[in-house]
Structure 1
Amino acid sequence: MRVGITGEAPAVILPQDTSNQNKRLTGISIDIWDELATSLNLDYELIYNDSVTQTLKKLANQEIDIAIGGITVTEKNIRRFDFTQPVHEDKISVLVPLQSPTLWTIIKPFFGWAFLSSIILIGLCLFVVGNLLWLAEHNKNSEQFPKHYLKGVREGVWCALTTFSTVGYGDRYPVTNFGRFVAGSWMLISLVAVTTLTAGIATTLALAFSAQTYRNLQSPSDLKGVRLVTISGSKAVEWGQYYQGRIVEVDSLSEGIRKLESNQVDGVLYSRLALEYYLYQNPQLPYGVVDFDIGTQNYSIALTQDNPLTEKLNEQIVSIDMQLRFQEFKETWFKSQLNN
């Protein structure tokens, strides 16, 4: 049986010595196929191909019987081939250059609506509490809270502010029952508000003074109009088009990285596993994978149409729980790499 294989590391890893590479391929996809083939007593020959497009072309021409590796189920492919149940699922993300923060990126978080709305809300609360304290105190405690509205409310806001900041100078304090009720309630509210605000400011500062930032990509909606390179024939193409990115298709991840290095594109859109592995292998590169995912892609085994082996493979995939086995393969494989 002729089994075509293609994909990016760590799914398919080429030997450094490329002579007789078919017998020396390693990787997670190889482990998956080997387990399935062993369970079905299949004899096979692995035939490596440089790209998904080339592999599927050979499958369409019946030059191979099965295609494994970086094969995703797309609307176009499902019309031409049989596919098994997914052998594993992966997230789609973006590899982008890291940038040193500019002055604007440092101060930008402080102009965000979440931060500004918190400040506005606190200011409004201080004003309201200041007014309530003045209403309660200006008749019986006019020395601390003058009867003149502006002067009295000013002192009320000052009292509310010192209470809120937990400083409490003691130069202004209520003496009436209602005034003490307002002040006491405000103390309890302040405990919660200060904790929440402190956490929010700490997060904002951490973001603002981060040593490196991504290229203005905070969510999938930011991909609109961004030049993205991805692997031809993968599900990532459809996801990139869905978010209106300017998609460039190539045959391999290494080719996509070269386009990123030469500034022909703004990012590489592909499997998070493959992108993170690439960075693991090349830690010196000034790139990073963004913190969000834009979709998922299921990897399956492709076969010629009406292939009787499809049903047998599906039975094995379900019985073995291949999604779980893939996770085990991945963890085992990464541990072995870390120990090398």
Structure 2
Amino acid sequence: MSLRLHVLATGLLLAMAALAQAAPLTVGVKSSPPFSFQSGDRWDGLSVELWENVAEQAEMDYRYRVYPSVNDMLVAVEQGQIDLALGAISVTADRERRLDFSQPMYRGGLGIMTRSEPGGWLMTLQSLFSWKFFSAVLALVLVLLIVGVLIWLFERKRNPEQFGGSMGEGIGSGFWWSAVTMTTVGYGDKAPVSRAGRLLGLVWMFVSIITISGFTAAIASSVTVNQLQTSIKGAADLPRVNVASVENTSGAQWLAARGIQFTAYPNLQQAMRAVALGEQDALVADAPVMRHLIRDRGDKGLLVLPNLVREESYAFAMANGSPLQEPVNLAMLSILPTEEWRMVLNRYLGKNDL
């Protein structure tokens, strides 16, 4: 009797194992363009396309289960509710302690998004009325006036035809001479004849080269406006501005670890909107995802700074000790080095993000 029970129990276990093996995998997915997003009635994106190629090579059946956040999806993996998670999942030390990860499929990281200030004629006109511009002009006028007074003092007796008349007329003639000499125009209507005046003219011609170069540089620095300017240059500026991030993400963890105060938003779209509206000055999140959303929306009012605040790898997440790790990694190692995969990266991320 016991033998029969043993045989029945063994048969039941084998049947359950076969049924489990035949059951499709449950794959968690969250919308994180360009890694994962819905295109009509199907999922698309960098991570999705890679997973579907991996599943095809490893002959795995699967079904997707959608999650609202990366954190919810990773908790589901940890608790065994799903077999694998994909999207813009960065590998961090905390996550590595809780989960296993596949081979890295892309190396990006955290970036800073902020508002851009477009240049143009309006900004140029504003620069022309700035104190920096007026101070440069006033300094030049003062130098021209000093030289004009000196040449008048040297020439008023020896050359009254050109620098004579009343004090105002004489200084005015000297100012005119110093201006046309400095700009190398030299109309020839006025020229010093005294020895002191000619010596001053010779010195002034050489000094003018330096003076006009310095003035040109001052004007250029006050008028020239970059096409995209921002008051935030990098991570060092974050403590003094209003910062946003997405709750329960690596960006929020990075900010908290450095003691930088920030406002947490439930998703990236709301955080980006807060920056665009001026409610926040900067956003720390996955740089490739933010660049894709800005490019996809054609939003020229936002930009992601070129330097990453922290490099990160993106990978698939699985439970600790998952039997999927070996077949998934083997398939990925045969896909990632190929030119076909390079073309996929270019298609989703663009050459500037590689």
* TM-score, length-scaled by structure 2: 0.61
Q: Provide Cα deviations, 1:169-205, integer angstroms capped at 9, x if missing partner.
A: 656545666545434424544664465445334325x
C-alpha deviation, 1:57, in angstroms? 0.8
Q: Provide Cα deviations, 1:240-269, integer angstroms capped at 9, x if missing partner.
A: 457865323344223435766998755544
Aligned pairs for 1:104-253 within 5 A: 130=147, 159-165=177-183, 168=186, 170=188, 173=191, 178-189=199-210, 192-193=213-214, 195-204=216-225, 217-220=231-234, 221-238=236-253, 240-241=255-256, 245-253=260-268
C-alpha deviation, 1:271, in angstroms? 3.7
In the alignment, residue 295 of structure 1 is paired with which amino acid?
L
Structure 2 residues not aligned, in runs of 5+ = 1-24, 165-169
Give 2:314's match in structure 1, choosing from 289, 296, 300: 300
Could you tell me which residue of structure 1 aligns to residue 76 of structure 2?
58
C-alpha deviation, 1:53, in angstroms? 0.3
Could you tell me which residue of structure 2 aligns to residue 34 of structure 1?
52
Distance in 2 (alpha carbons) for counterparts of 1:256 and 1:127: 56
Distance in 1 (alpha carbons) for counterparts of 2:175 and 2:73: 73
Distance in 2 (alpha carbons) for counterparts of 1:189 and 1:320: 58
Distance 1:326-1:194 versus aligned 2 partners, 3 A rule: farther
Farther-moved stretch of structure 1 (251-260 vs 8-17): 251-260
Distance in 2 (alpha carbons) for counterparts of 1:242 and 1:111: 41
C-alpha deviation, 1:43, in angstroms? 1.5
C-alpha deviation, 1:292, in angstroms? 3.1
Which protein is bigger by CA-based radius of gyration? 2
Distance in 1 (alpha carbons) for counterparts of 2:59 and 2:130: 63
Aligned pairs for 1:325-340 within 5 A: 325=343, 327-330=345-348
Percent of paired sites with the same residue: 20
RMSD of equivalent CA atoms: 5.2
C-alpha deviation, 1:52, in angstroms? 0.7
C-alpha deviation, 1:61, in angstroms? 1.9
Distance in 1 (alpha carbons) for counterparts of 2:254 and 2:138: 39
In the alignment, residue 104 of structure 2 is paired with which amino acid?
Q
Distance 1:314-1:10 versus aligned 2 partners, 3 A rule: closer
Structure 1 residues not aligned, in runs of 5+ = 18-23, 147-151, 208-212, 333-340
SS at match of 1:85: coil
C-alpha deviation, 1:25, in angstroms? 0.7
Distance in 1 (alpha carbons) for counterparts of 2:209 and 2:279: 56
Give 2:330's match in structure 1, choosing from 296, 312, 337: 312
SS at match of 1:79: helix
Could you tell me which residue of structure 2 aligns to residue 43 of structure 1?
60
Distance 1:262-1:196 versus aligned 2 partners, 3 A rule: closer
Number of paired residues?
310
In the alignment, residue 246 of structure 1 is paired with which amino acid?
Q
CA contact (8 A) 1:231 1:253 kept: yes
Distance 1:323-1:236 versus aligned 2 partners, 3 A rule: farther
Could you tell me which residue of structure 2 aligns to residue 289 of structure 1?
302
Could you tell me which residue of structure 2 aligns to residue 256 of structure 1?
271
Distance in 1 (alpha carbons) for counterparts of 2:131 and 2:307: 23
Could you tell me which residue of structure 2 aligns to residue 6 of structure 1?
30
Distance 1:266-1:192 versus aligned 2 partners, 3 A rule: closer
